[in-house]
């Protein structure tokens, strides 16, 4: 019953503060039609990411984990007309659906979907000395989070905000003997965040349509 209550409150918030959004509805429908798993951020979480990126005046955004581009659209809408968002996705099928959704959202001019294992793409980006990003959202394989943090730091500038999704895992994060390797990925992320003197970080637990989970947030000094 608790999960039903959380979803009802998410719906209440969304109805009052988000309004109708045919573009995002169409993106979710295209994801379902394409057989993508429904593991996108929730609408209220998407709006939160949008507000964070917009509030800091982000002009360059990096996303790790595109799926069908739902969070990508929320984030890209925070950019100015000459802003840029690069999003990394392992699965070509997910990337194809995302490109369609991003085109329908009218954002293809500022969003680039790069296909491949994020670690490889990130190493190429570092080697190519790509311009630093203002906002980095990490939402791919949780086992990779410590490596994504290391790469994100190399693609950051002082003031860059880093956001990692799904770091609470229904409370699993506090269990050192948990059977799920994803829990060990987020636990290693917490250790790495704590050990990095260039970062000021916290994490917030969330409940809602996506059950009990949370985001870690950090700013690069
Ligand atoms: N951010 C998306 C949203 O809210 O709309 C959801 C992303 S979904 C939780 C995670 C995505 O990361 C999946 O599409 C998956 O294929 C992708 N992924 C998993 N491992 C990856 C890797 N090693 N490199 C890049 N993408 C990966």
What is the extent of the structural domain holding 117? 2-220
Q: What is the pLDDT of residue 140?
A: 98
Mean pLDDT (the chain, rounded): 97
The total number of structural domains in the chain stands at 1
Token code pair at residue 99: 């490109």
Q: Model confidence over 184-211: pLDDT tens digits?
A: 999 999 999 999 999 999 999 999 989 9
User: ipTM surpassing 0.90, yes or no?
Assistant: yes
Q: How far is the CA of 185 from the centre of ligand 1 (A)?
A: 15
Going from the C-alpha of 121 to that of each of 14, 107, 129, 146, the distances in angstroms are 35, 22, 12, 16
Q: Indicate which residue's Cα is closest to atom 14 of ligand 1.
A: 67
**Domain at 209, CATH number:** 3.40.50.150
Q: Kindly report the CA angle at 218 between 213 and 221, in degrees rounded to 5? A: 175
Q: How far is the CA of 121 from the centre of ligand 1 (A)?
A: 13
* Sheet containing strand 60-64, strands side by side: 111-115, 84-89, 60-64, 135-138, 161-165, 213-220, 199-206
Question: Is residue 168 within 8 Å of residue 203, measured between CB atoms?
Answer: yes
Task: Choose the residue to mutate in 45, 141, 208 for probing ligand 1, maximizing ligand atoms within 8 Å of C-beta.
Answer: 141
Looking at the CA of residue 137, tell me the nearest atom of ligand 1. 1
Among the listed residues 201, 200, 165, 207, the one whose alpha carbon sits nearest the alpha carbon of residue 186: 165
Q: Model confidence over 26-43: pLDDT tens digits?
A: 999 999 999 999 999 999
Rounded CA-CA distance 71/77 in Å is 10
Rounded CA-CA distance 156/133 in Å is 5
Looking at the CA of residue 94, tell me the nearest atom of ligand 1. 14
Q: Model confidence over 56-104: pLDDT tens digits?
A: 999 999 999 999 999 999 999 999 999 999 999 999 999 999 999 999 9
Q: How far is the CA of 138 from the centre of ligand 1 (A)?
A: 9
Going from the C-alpha of 154 to that of each of 126, 127, 130, the distances in angstroms are 7, 10, 10
Residue 1 has pLDDT above 70, yes or no: no
Looking at the CA of residue 67, tell me the nearest atom of ligand 1. 14
């Amino acid at each position: 019953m608790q999960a039903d209550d959380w979803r009802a409150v998410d719906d209440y918030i969304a109805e009052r503060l988000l309004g109708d959004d045919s573009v995002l509805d169409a993106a979710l429908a295209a994801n379902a039609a394409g057989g993508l798993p429904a593991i996108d951020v929730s609408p209220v979480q998407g709006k939160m990411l949008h507000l964070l990126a917009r509030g800091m005046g982000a002009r360059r955004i990096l996303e790790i984990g595109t799926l069908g581009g739902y969070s990508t659209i929320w984030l890209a809408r925070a950019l100015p007309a000459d802003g840029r968002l690069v999003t990394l996705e392992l699965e070509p099928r997910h990337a194809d659906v995302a490109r369609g959704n991003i085109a329908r959202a009218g954002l293809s001019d500022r969003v680039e979907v790069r296909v491949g294992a994020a670690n490889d793409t990130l190493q190429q980006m570092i080697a190519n000395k790509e311009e630093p990003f203002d906002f980095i959202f990490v939402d791919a394989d949780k086992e990779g989070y410590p490596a994504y943090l290391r790469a994100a730091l190399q693609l950051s500038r002082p003031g860059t905000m880093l956001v990692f999704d799904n770091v609470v895992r229904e409370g699993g994060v506090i269990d050192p003997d948990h059977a799920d390797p994803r829990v060990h990925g987020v636990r290693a992320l917490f250790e790495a965040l704590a050990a990095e003197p260039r970062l000021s970080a916290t994490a917030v637990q969330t409940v809602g349509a996506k059950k009990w989970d949370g985001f870690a947030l950090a700013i690069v000094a």
